[in-house]
């Protein structure tokens, strides 16, 4: 039986290893290798902010520096090895998980019917048949094709044109699927024309799906509370996750342990004997400095990251400029198994402009660490096909 205490160093390393961030990378970043990365992560979040690169591209590049966005487009639109839907937010998900998403389709549909009727523009529910007929007849369809981009009297996603709301509802409830994207523009098609047949027809009972979601979440987190397990894929409720943990522990599938946080406090979590036994075989962390997407799966749960790494991080996009502590869209920076700071960097024409880097407290920025950070910035510039790095005066905020 493994020790009932997981120290902070081992906890960080186990967690990062499950997220493919601990050791040096290998792999082509395309085809089967890329599909394997996506499966190991469970999903990658999609986000529209493009200061450097789209979130999903940056997440995958952080694990495979040979990755190019065309490889993911091919995986989704041509090979049909992934689909786009929701976890906690919009995400790209391995295709083999599609049968498990049927429970999420049903639950999302019930929630949308209850909530959207009270705060969306009227008329969207009457659009379903018309939109489905249009998609069936014309094939992949955008929101503008069904008048979904017609300006409303006031802006905001809550005031979408009814046809766009209907289109989104049909996608979230599983009757439509995203066929492909052009830039950030989504094309919807009938689910049966997007999802390969074996995954369309596979059926699982609710209890089986919840068991899969909890087990798969634990495998990717390494250790977790029941709330963290529920939040990972956002399929099971917290109450279902709590009950699953109780039953799994009673059956010997889970153990309870104390996990040491960055401040020395202990947090009671669940894990498995196999995961805990793997700690002794974990490789030493790479010395590479990694600049991560703010939406990286390792940082998605801000509270968990703060407890585990002692790293407080929030995106300040919606904070008025004079009140921002750091910047509009600042990237977390990791080295080895530690989060060492954050950086304000953006793409301007063919230049990568570095405005500021703020090291965390007690992080010394010696020559080797500065060189490693600059090497990572050069890698990013190469990934983005930029020709110049530009450092503003006093960019290093020691």
Tens of pLDDT along 71-122? 999 999 999 999 999 999 999 999 999 999 999 999 999 988 877 554 444 5
Q: Which residues contact 383 (CB under 8 A, 6 or more apart)?
A: 53, 61, 65, 67
Phi and psi torsions of 53, nearest 5°: -150, 160
- Residue 54 CB-half CA count within 13 A: 18
**165: which DSSP letter?**
H
Say whether pLDDT at 157 is over 60: no
Query: Which fold is adopted by the domain 289-391?
Result: Aminopeptidase (3.40.630)
pLDDT at 153 over 90: no
What pLDDT, on a 0 to 100 scale, did the predictor assign at position 119?
45
Q: Is 376 within 8 Å of 291 (Cβ atoms)?
A: yes
Structure tokens at 132: 């489905």
Q: What is the pLDDT of residue 117?
A: 58
CATH number, domain 115-201: 1.10.10.10
Q: What pLDDT is stored for residue 152 in this prediction? A: 44
CB-based contact 333:357 (threshold 8 Å): yes
Sheet containing 351-359, strands listed edge to edge, beginning at the edge strand earlier in sequence? 289-291, 331-335, 338-348, 351-359, 388-391
Beta bridge partners of 20: none
For residue 15, give both structure tokens.
Answer: 């967690």
Q: Is this prediction's pTM over 0.85?
A: yes
Q: Are 113 and 98 in contact (CB under 8 A)?
A: no
Comparison of pLDDT for 342 and 151, the residue scoring more: 342
pLDDT digits (tens, 9 = 90+) for 243-271: 999 999 999 999 999 999 999 999 999 99
Confidence of residue 125 (pLDDT cuts 50, 70, 90): low
Cβ 308 vs Cβ 11: under 8 Å: yes
pLDDT score at 161: 67
pLDDT in tens, 167-204: 888 999 999 999 999 888 899 999 999 999 999 888 89
CA max distance for the chain? 64
211 CB-near residues (< 8 Å, 6+ apart): 244
The pLDDT, as a whole number, for residue 2 is 46
Average pLDDT over residues 4-18: 97
Q: Tell me the backbone φ, ψ of residue 136, rounded to 5 degrees.
A: -60, -40
Q: How confident is the model over 222-247, as pLDDT tens digits? A: 999 999 999 999 999 999 999 999 99
pLDDT band for position 398 (50/70/90)? confident
Per-domain boundaries in the chain: 4-93+206-281, 115-201, 289-391
| Beta-bridge partner residues of 291 | 333
- Chain position carrying tokens 């929630």: 111
Pairing of strands 331-335, 90-94: unpaired
pLDDT in tens, 47-65: 888 899 999 999 999 999 9
CA dist., res. 334 & res. 361, Å (int): 14
Mean pLDDT, the chain, integer: 91
């Amino acid at each position: 039986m493994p020790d009932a205490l997981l120290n902070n160093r081992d906890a960080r390393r186990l967690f990062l290893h499950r997220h493919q961030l601990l050791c040096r990378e290998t792999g082509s970043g395309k085809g089967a290798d890329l599909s394997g990365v996506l499966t190991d992560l469970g999903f990658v979040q999609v986000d529209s902010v493009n200061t450097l690169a789209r979130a999903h591209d940056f997440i995958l590049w952080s694990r495979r520096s040979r990755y190019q966005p065309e490889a993911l487009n091919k995986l989704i639109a041509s090979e049909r090895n992934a689909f786009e839907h929701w976890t906690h937010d919009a995400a790209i998900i391995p295709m083999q998980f599609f049968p498990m998403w049927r429970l999420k389709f049903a639950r999302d549909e019930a929630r949308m019917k209850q909530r959207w009727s009270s705060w969306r523009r009227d008329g969207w529910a009457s659009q379903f048949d018309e939109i489905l007929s249009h998609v069936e007849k014309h094939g992949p369809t955008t929101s503008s094709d069904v008048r979904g981009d017609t300006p409303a009297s006031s802006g905001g996603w809550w005031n979408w044109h009814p046809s766009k709301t209907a289109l989104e509802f049909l996608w979230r409830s599983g009757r439509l699927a995203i066929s492909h994207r052009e830039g950030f523009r989504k094309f919807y098609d009938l689910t049966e024309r997007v999802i390969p047949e074996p995954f369309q027809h596979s059926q699982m009972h609710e209890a089986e799906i919840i068991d899969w979601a909890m087990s798969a979440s634990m495998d990717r987190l390494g250790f977790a509370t029941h709330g963290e397990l529920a939040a990972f894929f956002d399929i099971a409720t917290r109450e279902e996750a709590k009950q699953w943990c109780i039953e799994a522990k009673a059956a010997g599938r889970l153990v309870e342990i104390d996990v040491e946080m960055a401040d020395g406090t202990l947090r009671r979590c669940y894990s498995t004997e196999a995961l805990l036994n793997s700690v002794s075989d974990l490789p030493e962390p790479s010395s590479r400095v990694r600049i991560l997407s703010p939406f990286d799966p390792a940082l998605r749960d801000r509270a968990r990251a703060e407890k585990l790494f002692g790293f407080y991080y929030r995106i300040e996009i919606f904070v008025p400029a004079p009140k921002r502590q750091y910047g509009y869209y600042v990237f977390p920076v990791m080295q080895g198994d530690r989060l060492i700071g954050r950086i304000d960097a953006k793409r301007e024409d063919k230049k990568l402009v570095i405005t500021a880097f703020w090291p965390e407290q007690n992080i010394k920025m010696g020559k080797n660490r500065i060189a490693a950070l600059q090497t990572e910035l050069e890698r990013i510039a190469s990934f983005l096909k930029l020709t110049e790095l530009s450092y503003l005066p006093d960019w290093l905020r020691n």
